[in-house]
Structure 1
Amino acid sequence: MGDDATAARARDDAALLVVDRVAIGYRRQGRYLPAVGEASFQVRRGEKVMLLGPSGCGKSTILKAVAGFLRPSAGRIVVDGREARSRAPTAPWCSRSSTSCSPGAPSSATSPTRCG
Protein backbone atom coordinates (compact mmCIF):
# COMPACT_ATOMS: atom_id res chain seq x y z
CA MET A 1 0.00 0.00 0.00
CA GLY A 2 2.90 2.35 0.70
CA ASP A 3 4.20 1.90 -2.85
CA ASP A 4 0.78 2.81 -4.31
CA ALA A 5 0.60 5.98 -2.22
CA THR A 6 4.16 6.93 -3.21
CA ALA A 7 3.38 6.37 -6.89
CA ALA A 8 0.20 8.44 -6.61
CA ARG A 9 2.10 11.29 -4.93
CA ALA A 10 4.82 11.18 -7.60
CA ARG A 11 2.17 11.28 -10.33
CA ASP A 12 0.45 14.25 -8.70
CA ASP A 13 3.76 16.11 -8.28
CA ALA A 14 4.89 15.39 -11.83
CA ALA A 15 4.41 18.10 -14.41
CA LEU A 16 1.29 17.69 -16.53
CA LEU A 17 2.96 19.68 -19.29
CA VAL A 18 6.66 20.21 -19.99
CA VAL A 19 7.78 22.58 -22.73
CA ASP A 20 11.56 22.20 -22.89
CA ARG A 21 13.67 24.50 -25.09
CA VAL A 22 11.01 24.50 -27.81
CA ALA A 23 11.69 26.42 -31.00
CA ILE A 24 9.10 26.61 -33.76
CA GLY A 25 9.44 28.01 -37.24
CA TYR A 26 7.85 27.89 -40.66
CA ARG A 27 9.18 27.41 -44.17
CA ARG A 28 8.06 30.10 -46.58
CA GLN A 29 9.40 30.26 -50.12
CA GLY A 30 12.37 28.08 -49.15
CA ARG A 31 13.32 30.24 -46.15
CA TYR A 32 13.04 29.32 -42.48
CA LEU A 33 11.14 31.93 -40.49
CA PRO A 34 11.36 31.55 -36.69
CA ALA A 35 8.10 32.00 -34.79
CA VAL A 36 9.27 30.97 -31.30
CA GLY A 37 12.97 31.25 -30.45
CA GLU A 38 13.18 29.04 -27.38
CA ALA A 39 10.48 28.48 -24.79
CA SER A 40 10.65 26.45 -21.59
CA PHE A 41 8.08 26.06 -18.82
CA GLN A 42 6.22 23.42 -16.81
CA VAL A 43 2.62 23.18 -15.68
CA ARG A 44 1.78 20.95 -12.72
CA ARG A 45 -1.64 19.45 -12.01
CA GLY A 46 -3.98 22.06 -10.60
CA GLU A 47 -1.89 25.03 -11.76
CA LYS A 48 -3.30 27.73 -13.99
CA VAL A 49 -0.96 29.37 -16.46
CA MET A 50 -1.40 32.31 -18.78
CA LEU A 51 0.85 33.04 -21.74
CA LEU A 52 1.27 36.78 -22.05
CA GLY A 53 3.02 38.80 -24.70
CA PRO A 54 2.52 41.19 -27.57
CA SER A 55 0.79 40.23 -30.78
CA GLY A 56 2.93 37.94 -32.91
CA CYS A 57 5.25 36.75 -30.14
CA GLY A 58 4.26 33.05 -30.48
CA LYS A 59 1.62 32.44 -27.78
CA SER A 60 -0.83 30.72 -30.11
CA THR A 61 1.99 28.91 -31.89
CA ILE A 62 3.15 27.35 -28.61
CA LEU A 63 -0.41 26.23 -27.80
CA LYS A 64 -0.78 24.68 -31.25
CA ALA A 65 2.45 22.74 -30.69
CA VAL A 66 1.29 21.62 -27.23
CA ALA A 67 -1.97 20.39 -28.77
CA GLY A 68 0.00 18.47 -31.42
CA PHE A 69 -1.04 20.53 -34.44
CA LEU A 70 2.49 21.85 -35.05
CA ARG A 71 5.79 20.05 -34.71
CA PRO A 72 8.57 21.98 -32.93
CA SER A 73 11.75 22.64 -34.89
CA ALA A 74 13.76 21.93 -31.72
CA GLY A 75 13.17 20.94 -28.12
CA ARG A 76 10.50 18.68 -26.71
CA ILE A 77 6.94 18.81 -25.42
CA VAL A 78 5.75 16.25 -22.87
CA VAL A 79 2.01 16.02 -22.12
CA ASP A 80 1.01 13.90 -19.12
CA GLY A 81 4.24 11.91 -19.28
CA ARG A 82 4.14 11.24 -23.03
CA GLU A 83 6.36 13.05 -25.49
CA ALA A 84 4.35 14.77 -28.21
CA ARG A 85 5.85 13.67 -31.52
CA SER A 86 3.08 13.55 -34.10
CA ARG A 87 0.84 16.07 -35.76
CA ALA A 88 -2.17 14.27 -34.29
CA PRO A 89 -3.59 16.10 -31.29
CA THR A 90 -1.85 14.94 -28.11
CA ALA A 91 -3.82 16.89 -25.53
CA PRO A 92 -7.41 15.67 -25.22
CA TRP A 93 -8.58 18.97 -23.74
CA CYS A 94 -7.49 21.04 -26.77
CA SER A 95 -9.84 21.91 -29.57
CA ARG A 96 -8.78 22.05 -33.21
CA SER A 97 -11.13 25.01 -33.66
CA SER A 98 -9.49 26.99 -30.88
CA THR A 99 -6.00 27.72 -29.62
CA SER A 100 -7.09 27.63 -25.99
CA CYS A 101 -6.50 24.68 -23.70
CA SER A 102 -7.93 23.95 -20.31
CA PRO A 103 -5.91 21.12 -18.72
CA GLY A 104 -7.10 21.93 -15.20
CA ALA A 105 -10.61 20.62 -15.75
CA PRO A 106 -10.95 16.97 -16.85
CA SER A 107 -14.51 17.62 -18.05
CA SER A 108 -13.07 19.96 -20.67
CA ALA A 109 -11.84 16.90 -22.59
CA THR A 110 -15.33 16.61 -24.03
CA SER A 111 -16.11 20.32 -24.02
CA PRO A 112 -12.98 22.43 -24.72
CA THR A 113 -12.88 25.93 -23.32
CA ARG A 114 -12.91 28.71 -25.88
CA CYS A 115 -11.66 32.18 -25.19
CA GLY A 116 -12.39 35.19 -27.34
Structure 2
Amino acid sequence: MSEKDKPAEIGFDDFLKVDIRVGRITRAEPFPEARKPAYKLWIDFGPEIGEKKSSAQITRHYQPEDLIGRQVLAVVNFPARQIGPMRSEVLTLGVPDADGEVVLIGPGSQVPLGGRLF
Protein backbone atom coordinates (compact mmCIF):
# COMPACT_ATOMS: atom_id res chain seq x y z
CA MET A 1 0.00 0.00 0.00
CA SER A 2 1.46 3.35 -1.00
CA GLU A 3 1.46 6.34 1.33
CA LYS A 4 -1.31 8.04 -0.64
CA ASP A 5 -3.52 4.93 -0.40
CA LYS A 6 -3.24 4.63 3.38
CA PRO A 7 -6.41 5.51 5.27
CA ALA A 8 -6.26 8.75 7.23
CA GLU A 9 -5.24 8.29 10.84
CA ILE A 10 -8.06 9.06 13.28
CA GLY A 11 -8.24 9.66 17.00
CA PHE A 12 -10.11 7.47 19.46
CA ASP A 13 -12.86 10.09 19.75
CA ASP A 14 -13.45 9.73 15.98
CA PHE A 15 -13.83 5.97 16.41
CA LEU A 16 -16.37 6.49 19.19
CA LYS A 17 -18.57 8.50 16.80
CA VAL A 18 -19.30 5.30 14.85
CA ASP A 19 -21.95 3.40 16.81
CA ILE A 20 -21.54 -0.30 15.94
CA ARG A 21 -23.99 -2.63 17.69
CA VAL A 22 -24.86 -6.32 17.68
CA GLY A 23 -28.29 -7.34 16.47
CA ARG A 24 -30.14 -10.52 15.55
CA ILE A 25 -31.70 -10.99 12.11
CA THR A 26 -35.40 -11.68 12.63
CA ARG A 27 -36.52 -11.64 9.00
CA ALA A 28 -34.80 -11.84 5.59
CA GLU A 29 -36.33 -11.59 2.12
CA PRO A 30 -35.06 -11.29 -1.44
CA PHE A 31 -34.87 -7.68 -2.65
CA PRO A 32 -35.48 -7.91 -6.41
CA GLU A 33 -35.86 -4.11 -6.76
CA ALA A 34 -32.22 -3.49 -5.73
CA ARG A 35 -29.73 -2.73 -8.53
CA LYS A 36 -27.36 -5.47 -7.33
CA PRO A 37 -28.54 -8.80 -5.83
CA ALA A 38 -29.47 -8.15 -2.21
CA TYR A 39 -31.69 -9.14 0.69
CA LYS A 40 -33.95 -7.03 2.89
CA LEU A 41 -33.05 -7.69 6.53
CA TRP A 42 -34.93 -6.87 9.71
CA ILE A 43 -32.49 -6.77 12.64
CA ASP A 44 -33.43 -6.61 16.33
CA PHE A 45 -30.96 -4.54 18.37
CA GLY A 46 -32.75 -4.98 21.70
CA PRO A 47 -35.05 -2.64 23.65
CA GLU A 48 -32.85 0.50 23.48
CA ILE A 49 -32.64 0.64 19.66
CA GLY A 50 -35.39 -1.75 18.55
CA GLU A 51 -35.76 -3.38 15.14
CA LYS A 52 -34.18 -1.72 12.09
CA LYS A 53 -34.19 -2.55 8.38
CA SER A 54 -31.14 -3.01 6.18
CA SER A 55 -30.40 -3.85 2.56
CA ALA A 56 -27.43 -6.22 2.27
CA GLN A 57 -25.64 -7.54 -0.82
CA ILE A 58 -24.97 -10.96 0.70
CA THR A 59 -26.69 -13.29 -1.76
CA ARG A 60 -23.55 -15.25 -2.73
CA HIS A 61 -22.97 -16.87 0.68
CA TYR A 62 -26.38 -16.80 2.35
CA GLN A 63 -29.98 -17.87 1.81
CA PRO A 64 -32.71 -15.85 3.56
CA GLU A 65 -33.89 -18.77 5.70
CA ASP A 66 -30.33 -19.39 6.97
CA LEU A 67 -29.97 -15.80 8.18
CA ILE A 68 -32.81 -15.91 10.72
CA GLY A 69 -31.39 -15.88 14.27
CA ARG A 70 -27.86 -14.93 13.15
CA GLN A 71 -26.15 -12.20 15.16
CA VAL A 72 -24.48 -9.47 13.08
CA LEU A 73 -22.73 -6.16 13.60
CA ALA A 74 -24.13 -2.98 12.10
CA VAL A 75 -23.55 0.77 12.18
CA VAL A 76 -26.72 2.17 13.74
CA ASN A 77 -26.02 5.92 13.60
CA PHE A 78 -25.71 6.57 9.86
CA PRO A 79 -28.60 8.44 8.26
CA ALA A 80 -31.17 6.16 6.62
CA ARG A 81 -30.75 5.62 2.85
CA GLN A 82 -33.49 5.09 0.30
CA ILE A 83 -32.67 1.97 -1.72
CA GLY A 84 -35.38 1.42 -4.28
CA PRO A 85 -38.69 1.18 -2.41
CA MET A 86 -36.97 0.42 0.93
CA ARG A 87 -35.47 2.71 3.55
CA SER A 88 -32.25 1.09 4.84
CA GLU A 89 -31.79 2.26 8.44
CA VAL A 90 -28.50 0.56 9.40
CA LEU A 91 -25.32 -0.56 7.62
CA THR A 92 -24.82 -4.29 8.16
CA LEU A 93 -21.08 -5.00 8.25
CA GLY A 94 -19.08 -7.59 6.36
CA VAL A 95 -15.72 -8.20 4.76
CA PRO A 96 -14.90 -9.39 1.25
CA ASP A 97 -13.93 -12.98 0.50
CA ALA A 98 -11.25 -13.78 -2.11
CA ASP A 99 -13.77 -12.99 -4.89
CA GLY A 100 -14.96 -9.73 -3.33
CA GLU A 101 -18.26 -11.20 -2.11
CA VAL A 102 -19.51 -10.10 1.31
CA VAL A 103 -19.11 -12.31 4.38
CA LEU A 104 -21.03 -11.02 7.41
CA ILE A 105 -19.29 -9.94 10.61
CA GLY A 106 -20.71 -11.08 13.94
CA PRO A 107 -19.64 -12.14 17.42
CA GLY A 108 -18.08 -15.58 17.87
CA SER A 109 -20.47 -16.37 20.73
CA GLN A 110 -24.04 -15.29 21.53
CA VAL A 111 -24.03 -11.88 23.23
CA PRO A 112 -26.80 -9.56 24.47
CA LEU A 113 -28.56 -7.61 21.71
CA GLY A 114 -27.56 -3.96 21.39
CA GLY A 115 -24.04 -4.47 22.74
CA ARG A 116 -21.65 -1.82 21.41
CA LEU A 117 -18.40 -2.71 19.67
CA PHE A 118 -15.33 -1.36 21.46
Higher relative contact order (CA 8 A, sep 6+): 2
Q: TM-score, normalised by structure 1?
A: 0.24
Q: TM-score, normalised by structure 2?
A: 0.23
Q: Which has the higher strand share?
A: 2
